[in-house]
Chains A and B, each alone.
Chain A
Amino acid sequence: MESSTLIAILAVVIPIIGGPFCYVVEKISPKARTIYAITLGFITAGLTLSLIPSITEGSVNDFLWIPGANISLGICLDSLSVFVAIIAGCIGALALLYSIRYMKHAEHEYSLSRYYWQTLFFIGGMIGLALTSNLLVMYIFWEIIGFCSYALIGYYYHDPEPIPAGTKAFIVTRIGDIGFLAGILILWHATGSLNVFEIMNVASTVSPVLLGLAGAGFIAGAVGKSAQFPLHVWLPDAMVAPTTITSLIHAACLVNAGVYLLARSYPIFMGLAGWSTAILWIGTITAFLAATIALTEWDIKRVLAYSTISQLGYMMAAIGAGAILASKFYLLSHGIFKALLFLCAGAIIYVTGTKDMREMGGLRKHMKITHICAILGLLSLVGIPVLTGFFSKHMILAHLHAGGLYEAFALLAITAFLTAAYSWRMYWLTFQGDRRSKVKIHEAPWQMTVPLIVLAAASLLFWLYISPYTASMASSLPHYSIAHITLGNFIQHAFAGPTIWITVGVAILIALLTIKWKATVINAFRKPSALTLPLMKAYWFDIFYNKCVRGLFRFWQQFRRIQTGDLNYNNLGIVIGFVIFLVLLLVWTV
């Protein structure tokens, strides 16, 4: 076995198998358990990082798993999968470090061993999902992270909201999984293989109907997992999870899976014109709608949640436009700055004890490190030079513009302005203005600020890595036609293209907001008006779904009537069965 294969296996096995031993180590002391869990997290992160030199194309190693059905466990170490694994491993490790202090208060009521092993399981599941080349194995890890999200969102089970929110997350994402699983089965039937690379090679021979069905199924799976319209409703509710977990869900472990799946399967469905267009528009519309909702939220975590949905829309749109490199680069940079923003929000919540931005304000004086880190994260989100977010968002918009997809380009450009507006609103409400919090404010402890500083530095500097990143993408992904970009080219392209005017416009908007429209934007959503009501109600999606579910339950209740408990009726069932079976067989045979 090659060493890279071994490292890849260990990166999955160590967190998944090692996690449950938290319960054993806890017997020694709770402190030892915490150290143990964090060590495992950092070992995993180190293992994923050490995969960078061994990036190669294709499936590197196959182990026969179910000989009867000829299913094998393939490992793939191309640039696409390794970087998704790195994001999961590294952000996971930082979130674990952050948890030392952040989760300490929960120790009396909840089992922290449960928290740590499920978090490790989550990280391991995402790394496994990224590093496999077998669709069935990918689906298995896909469901494992779904389970982890359910368990971790519902972590604070003494409160009323978390458990329903976790249940909702699991069931809604599984509705999308119906399509994903059906798609896998159709591809398996049509090509006789579950290996992504083998399927890619023969995809052109598959009948368009089957390929179209499978493609639609994959989109459904990705829409569920990556919280795109109309299956986005679980993500804002998932904010009741511990903030470390929300940062994992948003940045590293869960929602990236859908975008990753579409990027991974892009060469399979490339030939279907409607497939790309569908993804492009799902992404674009999601980006726009979610950004408008984010403007109205008062809960700091829910603002960030809608922001994630919106940014995932950008990534989807990029895949729809064929810009896989831009989409993946944005996935990495978004992972970094969104984790940073969530951990900043976590620090704020830790200090102020509330999630409501109306009770914050004026935190800049007391939380200097958090303040600077949050500014860097928000500027990256908005896309201000020279942060990573600027370059990556620019790549997507430039690609759409160059590809002549002007409608989607226009809508995403408007979304960029909306992004600036809600980011500014969030910043102003929390850090500027008067202090509205009644508790004593202090800076967060070092276990929390160190991850913030690391992530802030990464979101400031990650774009410098573009040349080796695109080189590895170009060399390891022959199916995608990705070109190597040098740093000079990259910078020149970003500042010379027409999309720089969007950045200029965004900067002007921020200036105007600060100088002139401060009160308008902040007060606009205190009371609903004809214009703001749809936004404040999040376009009634949740209300509509709740009505549907209640209606379904009433419908299901009717089925109880079948079960009368009366023996005469029961034997009538036998007679009815007899008649139906007889008629059916007569129709079919005679």
Chain B
Amino acid sequence: MGLSYSWCCYLFGQYEEPRIKTDWKQSNGIAAKAKQLKWSERVMNVTPLVPIITLFIGALVSYLFARLLPKPKYTGVVSFIFLVISGIQIFTLRSGTELLTWSIGGAQTYLEANGLAIFLGLVAVGLGALVSLFSISYMEHFDGLGRYYSLLLIMIAGIVGIGFAGDLFNMFVFFEVMAIPSYVLVAFEKDRWEPIEAAIKYIFMSVAGSLMALMGISLIFMYTGSLDLAILANLTAGMDSLTAIGAVVLIIIGFGVKAAIVPLHTWLPDAHSAAPSGISAMLSGIIIGAGFIAMIKALAVLPGVNSGVVLIIFGIVSMFVGNFIAIVQRDLKRMLAYSSIAQMGYILLGVGLAFAYLSTGGEYGFRGGFLHILNHAVIKGGAFLCAGAIIYSIGTRDLEEMRGIGRKLPLIGVAFAFFGFALAGVPPLNGFISKFFICRAGVDVGGWGIVAMILLIVNSVLSLVYYLPAINKILFSSDISEKAKEAKGIPPSIYIPIIIMVILTVALGVYPELGLKIVDPVVSFMITSLGGS
């Protein structure tokens, strides 16, 4: 709402000069920079909004394409094209220099293309593009494809917006722009009870969370009178510690529901397994990551509270709970879903270490944590697409009934093995190197950090305990199940995205610099915004 209103104001020339009331606003970087910009420069700086607008236009075009043209199946191509365009636009943004400013009701706000925004945008758009390709054949027998693709694109626009938002309120709006389409997409197969039940659980828990997040943001606004992410960190220093703690708890819970921190994770296994596989890949690959990044952005404005410790503790709890329950699953998608909880645990641990001990564990904690968000998006996205390909072929999610499917669909089986090993942290695949950096943060912190590091490595081995049997069942089963014998072939639009994921899994592992190119700006951005050197 806020965004669209202000954007309309902007378009129709009703732009107001920001009314800066107090002295601190003028003394602070971005607000001061915004004031000095001339009108012509503002037009130049519309760039951060362009990728988001592209995605919204894409949503509209996809919908019309599916409704008006005779072959709705190929809407996926349209959405793919828009996602690629949007990705190129994000890629060409120069970190830190591109700023779009406007004002809502007197308070000025902005979209900023910083390292974090570009990172999140690229991961979301990249994964979304592959999911669109995958959905061409996977979704061809469903009605309402226009809805599917337009909601997918709006959801991705929301994720991109979370990264770009320069203030807490717009970030929250984008967070909801991401969340609402995801509820609908989980329940996309509306004729079956399972997706509906899962979506209802997901909505109820998420809405409770969103409400809490909004309350936390309101608390901050109440005490500081500002929502500007760039200057809030200085302002919150004056807050009394109880209020600050209250705000932190509300923010962790609020965004933590999306990030699936145990004990807020219970919606995730149902939603991930009931959604169409492409959407599972999005949910698991980037939406929980985006929820987490929203949480990090909000927590970064309250450096006075030691929120990192909570993240570390619940990171460790999440990885144990996720892995333990994953071990006893028989449903492939549920297993992957629980594994996502564990993987989020690793990310929480890494970023938590960086938050709590910025001077020692900061560098490797952020590097490992954010690199793992990227790697997890690639691996888990790919793993869910593999699961989707198997479901497309034999129509079951039960691991027992998939016995020997790898011999019928060797490409999918081998790809799944790649993703399984990458998730279990087997080098030289990409899941290893990010965990390695997170572990380094643990050692750098020392003391309990070393214990946390050992627990992470133990969990990495634990995850092999369920991935290896799954790989064995799919690839090396001594017999072939009845269903697998009647497996139908896989069209190229399903296996091409999976092959791309496999290539990325290997490439990001063998040459991690590829991933670090977009992660290192995030690291420096996070460290500077938390006041480190």
Contacts and interface: CB of A to CB of B under 8 A. Distances in A.
B315 to A, nearest CB: 13
22 contacts: A65-B511, A69-B364, A143-B432, A146-B426, A157-B472, A157-B478, A160-B478, A163-B472, A167-B468, A174-B461, A175-B461, A178-B454, A182-B457, A556-B325, A559-B324, A563-B266, A574-B212, A577-B256, A577-B261, A581-B252, A585-B310, A590-B241
Contact of A553 (B205, B328, B461, B478): B328
A268 interface: no
A178 B463 CA distance: 13
Interface string B405-426: 0000000000000000100001
A578 interface: yes
Contacts of B208: 571, 574
Contacts of B201: 567, 570
B113 interface: no
A581 B439 contact: no
Contact of A562 (B253, B321, B367): B321
Interface string A5-45: 00000000000000000000000000000000000000000
Interface in B453-473: 453-454, 457-458, 461, 464-465, 468-469, 472
A153 to B, nearest CB: 11
A185 B321 CA distance: 25
Contacts of A439: none
A157 B367 contact: no
Interface in A206-262: 213
Per DSSP, are chain A's interface residues mostly helix, strand or loop, or mixed?
Answer: helix
A53 interface: no
A217 B457 CA distance: 12
B200 A567 contact: yes
Given A170-B464, A590-B241, A185 B453 contact: yes
Nearest to A568: B204
Nearest to B322: A559
A186 interface: yes
B507 interface: no
B459 to A, nearest CB: 10
A559 B270 contact: no
Interface in B154-207: 200-201, 204-205
B427 interface: yes
A147 B464 CA distance: 11
Interface residues of A, number: 60
B264 A577 contact: yes
A470 B327 CA distance: 51
B245 interface: yes
Given A178-B454, A556-B324, A556-B325, A158 B264 contact: no
Interface in A113-164: 136, 139-140, 143-144, 146-147, 150, 154, 157-160, 163
Nearest to A557: B328
B310 A174 contact: no
Contacts of A157: 472, 476-478
A181 B321 contact: no
Interface in A442-468: none
Interface string A579-590: 011101110111
A530 interface: no
Given A154-B476, A185-B436, A565-B270, A560 B328 contact: yes
B263 interface: yes
B309 interface: yes
Contacts, number: 167
Contacts of B257: 574
Nearest to A64: B513
Q: Pick the most buried of A65, A67, A188, A574: most chain B CB atoms within 10 A of its CB.
A: A574
B209 A574 contact: yes
B478 A147 contact: no
B478 A178 contact: no
Contacts of B427: 139-140, 143-144
A498 interface: no
Contacts of A186: 443, 450
A577 B450 CA distance: 26
B126 interface: no
A136 B443 contact: no
B228 interface: no
B444 interface: yes
A171 interface: yes
Contacts of A167: 468-469, 472
A518 interface: no
Nearest to A155: B476
Nearest to B368: A69
Contacts of B266: 562-564, 569-570, 573
B305 interface: yes
B248 interface: yes
Contact of A147 (B256, B310, B426, B433): B426
Top 5 closest A-B pairs, CB basis?
A157-B476, A573-B263, A189-B443, A140-B427, A570-B266
Contact of B478 (A68, A158, A588, A589): A158
A154 B477 CA distance: 11
Interface of A: 65-69, 136, 139-140, 143-144, 146-147, 150, 154, 157-160, 163, 167, 170-171, 174-175, 177-178, 181-182, 185-186, 188-189, 213, 553, 556-557, 559-560, 562-565, 567, 569-571, 573-574, 576-578, 580-582, 584-586, 588-590
Contacts of A182: 439, 450, 453-454, 457
A69 B367 contact: yes
B313 interface: yes
A342 to B, nearest CB: 24
Nearest to B440: A185
Given A181-B457, A574-B205, A584-B313, 17 more contacts: A65-B511, A139-B427, A143-B426, A150-B468, A163-B472, A177-B461, A182-B454, A182-B457, A185-B439, A556-B327, A559-B324, A562-B263, A567-B201, A570-B267, A577-B256, A577-B263, A581-B249
Contacts of B270: 565
B82 interface: no
B478 A159 contact: yes
B112 interface: no
Contacts of B454: 178, 182
Nearest to A573: B263
B77 to A, nearest CB: 31
Contacts of B478: 157-160, 163
B274 to A, nearest CB: 12
A581 B309 CA distance: 10
Contacts of A68: 367, 513, 516, 520
A180 B428 CA distance: 16
B370 interface: no
Contacts of B95: none
B269 interface: yes
Contacts of B324: 556, 559
Interface in B217-256: 241-242, 245-246, 248-249, 252-253, 256
A589 B328 contact: no
A580 B252 CA distance: 11
Nearest to B204: A567
Given A157-B476, A584-B309, A585-B306, A66 B253 contact: no
Interface in B338-371: 364, 367
B307 interface: yes
A585 B440 contact: no
Nearest to A172: B461
A589 B245 contact: yes
A224 B32 CA distance: 60
Interface in B426-442: 426-428, 432-433, 436-437, 439-440, 442
B525 to A, nearest CB: 14
Nearest to B439: A185
A144 B454 CA distance: 21
Contacts of A578: 212, 249, 253
B373 to A, nearest CB: 16
From A175, A188, A577, residue with most partner B Cβ within 10 Å: A577
